[in-house]
Amino acid sequence: MNDMDTHATEPAADPAEDDAPWLTAREQRLWRAHLEVSKLLEYQLSRELQQHDLAINDYEILVVLSESPDRRMRMTDLATATLQSKSRLSHQITRMESAGLVLRQECPGDRRGLFAHLTEQGWQTLRKVAPDHVRSVRAHFIDRFEDDQLDALFEALAPIAEHLRGLRGRG
Amino acid sequence: MNDMDTHATEPAADPAEDDAPWLTAREQRLWRAHLEVSKLLEYQLSRELQQHDLAINDYEILVVLSESPDRRMRMTDLATATLQSKSRLSHQITRMESAGLVLRQECPGDRRGLFAHLTEQGWQTLRKVAPDHVRSVRAHFIDRFEDDQLDALFEALAPIAEHLRGLRGRG
DNA sequence: CTGAAGTTGTAGAAAATTGAACAACCTCGG
DNA sequence: CCGAGGTTGTTCAATTTTCTACAACTTCAG
């Protein structure tokens, strides 16, 4: 049950014994818990979405599009929103297009551009799948916090998300 | 800046309007923050490891092996520990073996089995890379919590990790 | 001992991801 | 209008991941 990690368990055998910015035991257990939860949660949700023939990335795109004006979004914006490369998104939209979930649509003002547009079938698929997915998110994550933990956790994570979002642009 | 999600933003346009176990606004912002942090953090750490020619999975394997007795582990156990399929691990170990980081070793008691064994070079690589990695983990995560947040967060995550670990076995 | 059943790790093909190169297009200073 | 410089999305090749089948081996009941 180990996980990717920065290990600071065996002082004498640590990869760099001295003057390294090592993690304390308290820090390390948090870091490992975070990694474990991230990984296992993604695994679990992915497994459950699979019963609807959706990858986790497919679901993400359905959600983002469903929340966009006219249920569509420019390819580049969608790539940014979902943290994918343009290339990867292009392939993925091709796949989802074959599955009938989305459609590529010309962009009126800009002949370079394309919209990825949620089809009716894509919308209905999301309607069908979302409740199960939310149930899982609750069962495996949200409902497992106390009421005050829920807000405290958000307060802790929000600035980190912002920090990381900031890094994303430059490097 | 959107993310994979369960969206409960536009009541009238939600995929399933009624009697669904929807997320409240408070719940949703936490869920989105968690997803965003997970994803961006992995992206960032992966990017930084890349400067040492290591994928995040390579690093994870180096760490797990370094903490194992005799710095080696059976393929199947290693696959389980790192949440990979046997096939994927096999390919990955082949790559890491080419890179000189690990070695396949016969297993005395069981002629079916093999150990993945950390080489001296693999160990030295970890020694070299780990401090940078830990610095990143601090800069982007650990050092961004207040002292009390750090423990509170662990208390919140630990039971979830345990729950998910439990699911893993069965389904 | 024998053979059915389970385990271990690999092989090969198919699918997904990445990064670079590219054609088509837009923008804007001159 | 012109053309340099940037943007948009796709495509290609190389790599990585996934899935399935498989051969070698162990275990264990009979």
Q: What are phi and psi of B114, to 5 degrees?
A: -135, 150
Contacts with A2 from chain B: Cβ below 8 Å: 63-64, 67, 81-82
User: What nucleotide is nearest B94 when CA is compared to C1'?
Assistant: C10
What Cα–Cα distance (Å) separates residue A57 from each residue in A67, A88, A94, A155, B47? 16, 11, 13, 27, 20
Work out the mean pLDDT of chain B and round it to a whole number.
88
Number of domains chain A is built from: 2
Do A132 and A150 lie in one domain? The reply is: no
Q: Choose among B164, B3, B130: nearest CA to A35.
A: B164
Do A117 and A155 lie in one domain? The reply is: no
Residue A10 lies in a domain: no
Do A79 and A155 lie in one domain? The reply is: no
Do A88 and A152 lie in one domain? The reply is: no
Instruction: Output the distance from B125 CA to D25 C1' rounded to whole Å.
Output: 35
* pLDDT-derived band at A21, boundaries 50, 70, 90: confident
Mean pLDDT of A16-22: 65
Residue B120 lies in a domain: yes
Do A133 and A164 lie in one domain? The reply is: no
Query: What CATH number does residue B126 fall under?
Result: 1.10.10.10
Answer whether B21 sits within 8 Å of A123, measured CB to CB. no
Residue A67 lies in a domain: yes
Residue B18 lies in a domain: no
Do A133 and A171 lie in one domain? The reply is: no
Answer whether A83 sits within 8 Å of B59, measured CB to CB. no
Mean pLDDT of B73-82: 93
Instruction: Output the distance from A111 CA to C25 C1' rounded to whole Å.
Output: 7
- Residue range A94-107, pLDDT digits in tens: 999 999 999 999 99
Answer whether A142 sits within 8 Å of B23, measured CB to CB. yes
Residue A125 lies in a domain: yes
Burial of A168 (0-12, 13-18, 19+ CB in 10 A): middle
- Residue range A106-165, pLDDT digits in tens: 999 999 999 999 999 999 999 999 999 999 999 999 999 999 999 999 999 999 999 998
- Residue range B7-36, pLDDT digits in tens: 443 434 555 555 667 999 999 999 999 999
Chain B nearest CA to A16, separation (Å):
5
Q: How far apart are CA B132 and CA B50, in angstroms?
A: 12
Which ranges of chain A would DSSP assign to H, the alpha helix?
A: 25-50, 56-66, 75-81, 86-98, 120-140, 147-169
Retrieve residue B143's tokens: 């050092």
Residue B87's domain spans which residues? Answer: 24-165
* CA R_g for chain A: 20
Would you say residue B170 has pLDDT above 70?
no
Do A56 and A73 lie in one domain? The reply is: yes
Do A121 and A42 lie in one domain? The reply is: yes
Residue A104 lies in a domain: yes
Residue B7 lies in a domain: no
Do A81 and A150 lie in one domain? The reply is: no
Which pLDDT belongs to residue B110?
84
Nucleotides of C under 7 A from a protein CB: 6-12, 16-21, 24-27
Chain B nearest CA to A88, separation (Å):
15
Residue B170 lies in a domain: no
Which pLDDT belongs to residue A8?
39
Neighbours of A47 (CB within 10 A): 14
Which pLDDT belongs to residue B167?
83
Mean pLDDT of B63-68: 96
Do A127 and A76 lie in one domain? The reply is: yes
Instruction: Output the distance from A89 CA to D13 C1' rounded to whole Å.
Output: 18
Do A108 and A156 lie in one domain? The reply is: no
Would you say residue A9 has pLDDT above 90?
no
Provide the 3-class DSSP secondary structure of residue B58. helix
Do A127 and A55 lie in one domain? The reply is: yes
Would you say residue B156 has pLDDT above 70?
yes
Q: How far apart are CA A8 and CA A17, in angstroms?
A: 9
Give yes or no for B42 touching A (CB within 8 A): yes
Q: Choose among A45, A7, A103: nearest CA to B137.
A: A7
